[in-house]
Amino acid sequence: MAISKEDFRSIDEDDPSLPDLAPDTAKGAVYRFLLKHADQAFRQREIVDTVDVPERSVGPTLKRLEEHDLVEHRDRF
């Protein structure tokens, strides 16, 4: 999800409310996968089968990303 330059410039790097999207975190790996395929929707199982993160962490990770308005969730997608 792209953001405006204004929003980008206003991001406080020390803001604890922002999720850690580093590539070596589950949130970062899942977010990057979804961002790379932003024109598609995936079931949780498809993400588990594609992204190298622990299966049990994908659901909670998606929930946290959704809470930060970084992903959308509808029904099974």
At the topology level of CATH, where does 21-77 sit? Arc Repressor Mutant, subunit A (1.10.10)
Give the Cα separation of 77 and 49 in Å (integer): 15
46: tokens are 């498809």
Q: Among residues 74, 72, 65, which one has the least CA distance to residue 38?
A: 72
Q: Is the pLDDT of residue 15 over 60?
A: no
Residue in the block written with tokens 């990303």: 65
Q: Is the pLDDT of residue 41 over 90?
A: yes
Higher pLDDT, 63 or 23: 63
Length of the chain: 77
29-54 average pLDDT score? 94
Give the Cα separation of 47 and 70 in Å (integer): 16
pLDDT at 10: 64
Where along the chain do its domains lie? 21-77
Looking at residue 49, the DSSP 8-state letter turns out to be H
